Amino acid sequence: MISRVDHVSLAVRDIDAALRFFTDLLGAVPGASGKDPGMKYYWQILSLGDLSRIELITPTGEGSFLDNFLKDKQGGVHHITLQTPDIQKAKEALEEHNIPFFGFANYAEIWKEIFIHPKHAFGVLVQLAEFNADDWISPSVRMPKDTKWTIKKDDDGVQLKFAHPGGGTASIVLNNEDALRLLDALKEALE
């Protein structure tokens, strides 16, 4: 039912300070962002390393759904988002196990979501979502379209970078000896 953890969402009062902290200090790469005028908040996806992502969310005006959450604090973990390949099957599985969910939304077929209340998920607000992960991250941290891998050679060996089905890339560095052993193993597997 779940493909992977997509991101952890952090609610913050000071979005500019949070962006500086995660991008300037920790090297996060900004991806998709947007505002929801109805719920009065702004969101920003940040990629860290090969596959890790966080989302910063902040109120944009009085009456935001985040007001109560941030009432007595500057920020904190708001929810975790788990990617599912099929939101309908996820809903059915939850119903079969009598786990209530709420907030079904289908945003132009590019993002479908539901939420499980913390009282039914061991104290954590869980968002289940169906989407294409590469649509939400910066092109600088994903493979070019229709590319599954790249190889970069240097004096010490090679860096292999692969497109990850959860969006972004995964990479491994091999010394020359390991790279040649991999090449032999690939040849043997294809015979």
Tens digit of pLDDT for each residue in 106-148? 998 899 999 999 999 999 999 999 999 898 899 998 999 899 9
CATH of the domain at 130: 3.10.180.10
**What are 55's strand-pairing partners?**
9, 45
> What is the span of the domain harbouring residue 96?
4-136
What pLDDT was estimated at residue 108?
86
One domain for residues 62 and 106: yes
Q: Residue 189's pLDDT band (boundaries 50, 70, 90)?
A: very high
48 with 26: CB under 8 angstroms? Answer: yes
Residue finishing a domain among 94, 116, 136? 136
What pLDDT was estimated at residue 182?
96
12 with 56: CB under 8 angstroms? Answer: yes
20 with 27: CB under 8 angstroms? Answer: no
- The number of C-alpha atoms within 13 Å of 176 and in the hemisphere containing its C-beta is 3
Q: What does the pLDDT look like over 140-168, one tens digit per residue? A: 989 998 999 999 999 889 999 999 888 88
**What are 7's strand-pairing partners?**
81
Q: What is the percentage of the chain residues whose pLDDT exceeds 70?
A: 100
Say what the pTM is. 0.85
Q: What is the mean pLDDT of the chain?
A: 95
174 with 160: CB under 8 angstroms? Answer: yes
One domain for residues 18 and 58: yes
